[in-house]
Structure 1
């Protein structure tokens, strides 16, 4: 097993409330063909799509699986977004579902939501405004002997369940469902940090969707991003490799698509993807 510094990582509480979907006075979303559409989008409680389900075969835009939370205080929400990590335990602390536990499944930039998996039974008891506490744990995680690999946005317990191995050449082998080339990465490129939020795989090219099996993607899938450097900000860098998790659905807008929250990145080819059908956080979390 890989050695990490997990025993030194601080665990803190961050908190937000279930955030209602919002719609402006102009309810239309303009798709990549210039056509106005009215669709469900971000926020609220999404009852019928969860991690492990298709993020492509649905009628919606930027759909967030499960429960979406936010803090009305901007600085506190920044902390919620930055410190929450995929796989962190989340607990409902108000409302009829008080005491229910789930897992963080991603952070969605722009709308600035933290996304959380809960069981269907628990979600039926929830309401907009219910408060949810996250036991934030994971930022600062390091792999011993891999100083050129940056870890981010992942709970140490989930990291260990991924089954990442070091091969004979000193490369980290990570289970993934597919590899995505840098030229398909769109909205979010150029962000100053990958330690919060996500960025999108562009899905406007049908041939690329088939070639890289993007059309098969599910919420929670692990993917490899080729020539994508996320060690600091998000940029193209030949030879770099990043690993991320699909956090939100496909989108109709130009430059958008399934959102990826990055969990590993290296400026050098220290990471190799091993194609694995079950490379999805729902499988590793046992939900």
Structure 2
């Protein structure tokens, strides 16, 4: 890590939270309306997804809002909020019940549920309702050398992996982060108006012309 960057890693509180593998859910009526006006019934959120993992293609699936890996939640509302607010991307997760007990995975994202990636052989042993315990660490993360930068749901592991670096010769040591692509605000959809600490941010992938224009189709 860049020596000019100082994080408060030693001050972070590490705490356990749990969630259960969610049962897939479908809206009443079942049909999802696509931008072209056609209605279809397709698999989507929650549960254990065997055929899609983080790193796979984003488009082309016969599904809607597919969540890669394992989706977990807590039945108690306040406990579920804690699961969302305290868990950070990169936190370690462990199966604590069922045939896959003891298997370890990693938090990869947040949608309507928390998303956990496990090796394929672990998924074969898991079932709906299994409990996953997460060692949460990252809430309150600060870059003490650059206090004007805010981090959301970033674990120390993710912070180290981001490739942050200070740019020599810039005022106050400007920080840069390598990215795959820059996107304009007009591509943002559902979630942009809601609490960023709890929900995901959707991209308007239904606008295929815009996707092609931006080069992410």
Deviation at 1:199, TM superposition (A): 0.9
Kindly report the root-mean-square deviation, in angstroms, between the aligned alpha carbons of the 2 structures.
Answer: 1.2
Aligned residue number for residue 197 of structure 2 = 195
Contiguous gaps of at least 5 residues in structure 2: none
User: 1:135 and 1:125 mapped to 2: Cα distance?
Assistant: 22
User: 2:204 and 2:28 mapped to 1: Cα distance?
Assistant: 27
For normalisation by structure 2, the TM-score amounts to 0.93
Aligned residue number for residue 209 of structure 1 = 211
Aligned residue number for residue 126 of structure 1 = 126
1:155-187 C-alpha deviation (Å, 9 max, x unpaired): 112211221111122332212111110011110
For normalisation by structure 1, the TM-score amounts to 0.71
User: Is it true that 1:24 corresponds to 2:37 in the alignment?
Assistant: no
Aligned residue number for residue 97 of structure 1 = 100
Aligned residue number for residue 185 of structure 1 = 188
Which aligned runs of 4 or more in structure 1 are off by greater than 6 angstroms? none
Deviation at 1:106, TM superposition (A): 0.6
1:95-149 C-alpha deviation (Å, 9 max, x unpaired): 00000000000111xxx30000000000100000000001111111111232221
Q: Is the 8 A contact 1:84 1:137 kept in 2?
A: yes
Look up the SS of the partner of 2:182 in the other structure: strand
User: 1:140 and 1:11 mapped to 2: Cα distance?
Assistant: 11
Q: Is the 8 A contact 2:95 2:131 kept in 1?
A: yes
Q: Is the 8 A contact 2:7 2:145 kept in 1?
A: no
Evaluate the alpha carbon distance shift between residue 105 and residue 21 of structure 1 in structure 2; reply closer, same or farther with a 3 A threshold. same
Aligned residue number for residue 162 of structure 1 = 162
Aligned residue number for residue 151 of structure 2 = 151
User: Is it true that 1:11 corresponds to 2:4 in the alignment?
Assistant: no
Give the total of aligned pairs: 211
